[in-house]
Chain A
Amino acid sequence: MKRIFAVLSALLLALSLCACGAEQAQDAQLFAMDTIMDFEAYGTGAGDALSDSKAEIIRLEKLLSRTKESSEITKINDQAGTPTEVDAEVASLLKSALEYSAATNGAYDITVAPIVSAWGFIGGDYRVPSQEELNGLLKDVGYGRITLSGTTVTLGAGQSVDLGGIAKGYASDRIAVIYAKDGVTSGMISLGGNVWVCGKKPDGTDWRVAVQDPNDSSAYVGILSLSDAFAVTSGAYQRNFTQDGKTYHHIIDPTTGYPAESGLTSVTIVAKNGTMSDAFSTALFVAGKDKAISFWRSGKYDFDMVLVTSDKQVLVTSGIAGQFEKAEGSGYAYETIG
């Protein structure tokens, strides 16, 4: 009897100590790519994963920033109109960007960058450009004028590209590779709204990812239970300014040059690919509810989504409906899209 007690006590003592140690998270924060990035990792490889992740983000920022003199993107833009040899990784990312542009009929378009700049959404000096100015800039918008052959890219004369719409998504894909390499099987990152959850939580349950309510900063429209998934939200409320009583947000419709007015207030994409999720969250916000739903139904790409409309509907596609917990009393009408 005594021995049993002794063994039990020792076990209890050991357990009470190690349960806490095993769940110890390591985290890091970084300001890069014009946003804030949070990294969290559990387990023995966590330290390596965090330092490797930070180094990777800094490398990608140097490679992809449109505002950095030495970046590949600056090189392409400076030589618009003439064939330019680029880094293989950048060529491959451009290829993805062009594919997503074509798939969404240009609702996502990397050549819209000069218009986004004209509105001040890149520099931070917000302003409403004149229609004349927009008309001039719109002439050079059109991903179809970009040619990519191997690692040689040629922009149309006067064109300028920005991979900002997929750079964070691509970065999240790269971090997923790094976590795997460093042996991390549980963790989470948020690169300015681009979330990736690695495996499950240390306690074996899914990660609880809340989707912000676009109309109420202190509320959610619902909570997604996810494991090994990328989730990205595009919303009109994220970056905007008000002038003469009218609010202008940062998601520009490449056809009008104005902030997209599609009847959606946010689009959340959930998929196994961060780059694609990032591109589609922007594209489907611009495209609007009906086009977004038919694009999803086409089944051409494997993803799920949560759409929030300005008339207070929350539409969740069937692939994640079972993992979506509605917010009680939110005032939204919830519907599953099949």
Chain B
Amino acid sequence: MVDGPLGVLAELTHACPLSCSYCSNPLELTKRSEELSTDEWRRVLDEAADLGVLQSHFSGGEPLLRRDLPDLVRHASGLGMYTNLVTSAIGLSRPRAEALRDAGLDHVQVSIQADEPVLSDRLAGISSFDKKIEAARLVKELGWPLTLNVVLHRQNIDRIAAILDWVEELEADRVELANTQYYGWALRNREALLPSREQLRHAEKVTREARERLRGRTDVIYVIPDYYAEYPKPCMGGWGSRQLVVGPEGNAWPCLSAHELPLPRANVREHDLAWIWRDSPLFSEFRGTDWMPDPCRSCDRREVDLGGCRCQAFQLTGDMYRTDPVCVLSPDRGLIDEAVTAANDPAAVPAGGTASEPVLVPMPAVRPHRAD
């Protein structure tokens, strides 16, 4: 019997006022008219609770664009789930925030792109920095625990000290400093996003110092870019092991990048979540270690990193069964080393860390567009 998931990530919509060049949404965004209805989401949450889900993360796109967000939060909260909002904070007005608080929302995560408006607004593609800061203050004022989510990359990583000053100033309870993961949009924009070794060294030093200074006040979580690691991450704690994602159109996934893989879809409109989680070919495909080829199959680390990321293997090699190329034991590691070498080439694209340096705009052709 397969253990039930602990959490569900509900991607309510792909629509978003921001257009970040590392967006985790699929290259083909779901239209608003194809999104699950309020009743369909309620049913998904009921089925998730029956499966053992204890936490629901409302995300997107921008989940605040769904008018029914407070209804869905209230429903999840009524099922005993710990409810979390993952937001750009655009649209988090006081009345909306109060409605969410009344609905029982437990925790808010606000994305921060940089420490100041010029760079932040350029990265987000819209004037948004001041609204984010204001919304973060509102989150604290209304008594929620506040997490700031910062996606780090070549263009903002040198600003990390000033970003951490905001973390302190806003009295955030947690900060996730997560280096970009290179799938989908971010893979296409990798050259402009992958930091150099020197940039990372600096960021890690600043983060260590901040962690000491903020001990007891703020949890500082730092996620290295796996391109600079020796071994891959145990993605999602294992395929179909702890979490599931439900997209706006009702497709369920073991992780939020898995939509790229050539696997049969499993949609909540056609199947109940219990079947999808326990029995669907999609969720069974990479569960456990039986699917592994060598070098993973005979490796002592196979239960540690679980073969790494299937999406990364597929996107870089075209074969989703191969060992994650990030692993130094992978025959494909050269693909990673090539990108790392390019990122450390003095002639590489400049790190657009400060406004005075040349402005590097994400390539328009591959920027996510607003659905509708």
Chain B binds chain A: no
